[in-house]
Homo-oligomer: A and B are copies of this chain.
Amino acid sequence: MAKLQAPSGFRDFLPDAQRKRNELIRRIRAVYESFGYEPMETPCMENLDVFLGKGGGENEKLMYRILKRGASLERALESKDELADLAMRFDLTVPLARYYATHRGELPAVFKRYQIGPVWRAERPQHGRFREFVQCDIDVLGSTSMAVEADVILTVATALADLGFSGLTVRLNSRPLLRVLCEKSNVPKEAIDRYIILLDKIDKQPWDELNSDMLALGCQQSELDWFKGLYDYVKESKEYDPRELFKEIGAKVGDKGNPYVAQIQEVLELTPPLPSGKLVFDPFLARGMDYYTGPIFEVAAEGVPFSLAGGGRFDELIGKLGGQPTPACGFSIGFERVYTLMDERNMFAGATGAADALVVVPDAAGRAEALNLGAELRSAGLRIDVYPGEAKAVKQYELAERKGIPFAVQAGPEAGKVTLRDLKTRKNEILARAGAAAWLKGKA
């Protein structure tokens, strides 16, 4: 066998990592479900057409395509036609649009859904970029109400707080407001998209560089100065008065922009207090994707230099992808970032070893009794591994430690007794067999 590695850019997960990933999915799912978001699933691959020219942007270029088969492949090769008929999903949003078009009639009038699953992109392998990675999205389809924004924001902030992140800041802006602001600041119309992309870097890149890039787009220095002044005001005065900001921005955008300012104010008013952190208006938040049509948001946590979640309203995308116009708003937790961060910071305190105890098998004659003892303890609600085979006790203890199992149990030394060993302290205790489950539960 030539290559005994996972393909380049793909990952295997060892048990310890997988337990943490499962735990993370379980906890995010529990919060999503506690807000009434419903699970659903689409296939991992779709007909190729579904993905072509459908708002995937750069991601469309990174799509993995599935080779046609048999006669249909031969025909395609002869006629130099498309060689693929299916493709792997590169996000969960395009498949959602297709799903919604297929099943609209079977779904609630306002559809709150979540999906947690892998997506695939042929990214150039580099640190922290994977070709197969998990996304976990919530979306609400079918409502234009700003209560939806409040709902998705509270849901995601609750999930992150539940995972142990503190000092969350949910930054809120509006994509159409940002466009009006650009227009009113005399950014040339055709340069607005590129301007927004530059703006997205304002927290990461020196202002001088951005300023000259923006000038090169045809922006006016006086307008850039106004913008930079506002930025400094917001960033430097941590306790700035949002009313000042709304006044300043409101004056700049005038009648055309005021409905969007009102939307932002509505979201701020509607959203209940976040469990750990705050929701703030940030007129500099831009977001990368160009399909947003309303409020946009991102979450940052204290001491974390990148955002943990992002989303916004996209009232046009579903119609474009699936046929019938449908308002929509979504928020997505960056699963891989969150996982890596929680792992680095030991935030998986709840994750346990492979079992609560290992039943040690003294010799071949003791195997049946060991398996029975395992079944007995399990029926008391414990997670019990039984050593699979026979080996020296020290080998068996080693296996337990390798699997993060804290205790070893062995039938004996006499009938009706068990020996319990704490594998950390290496101390044994002899108990009545009937008391073993309670003893182990007491230690958990």
Q: A interface vs B, CB < 8 Å?
A: 1-7, 10-15, 18-19, 21-22, 29, 33-47, 49-50, 54, 64-67, 69, 83-84, 86, 88, 98-99, 101-103, 106-110, 112-113, 118, 120, 122, 132, 140, 142-145, 147-148, 150-151, 154, 158, 269-273, 321-323, 354-355, 358, 361, 367-368, 370-372, 374-375, 378, 382-390, 395, 398-399, 402-403, 405
Nearest CB of chain B from residue A168's CB, rounded to whole Å: 15
- Whether the pair B389, A148 counts as a contact (CB closer than 8 A) is yes
**Given A65-B67, A110-B389, A143-B389, A15 and B3 contact (CB-CB distance below 8 Å):** no
Q: Which 7 A-B pairs have the closest CB atoms?
A: A36-B385, A145-B389, A15-B38, A10-B43, A143-B389, A36-B355, A18-B39
Q: How far is the CB of A338 from chain B (nearest CB, A)?
A: 17
Residues of B within 8 A of A110 (CB): 387-389, 399
Q: Pick from B66, B106, B399, B405: contact of A66, CB below 8 A.
A: B66
Closest residue of chain B to A405 (Cβ to Cβ) is: B36
Question: How often does this chain occur in the complex, in copies?
Answer: 2
Q: Other than A3-B49, A147-B371, give 12 A-B pairs with Cβ distance below 8 A.
A: A15-B107, A33-B383, A45-B64, A64-B86, A109-B395, A145-B390, A147-B370, A147-B387, A147-B389, A151-B371, A151-B386, A151-B388
Determine if B36 and A403 form an interchain contact, defined as CB atoms under 8 angstroms apart.
yes
Interface centre among A36, A110, A269, A358 (most CB of B within 10 A): A36
Q: Does B145 lie within 8 Å of A386, measured CB to CB?
A: no
Known interface pairs A144-B389, A398-B109; A39-B15 also in contact (CB < 8 Å): yes
B12 lies within 8 A of A371 (CB): no
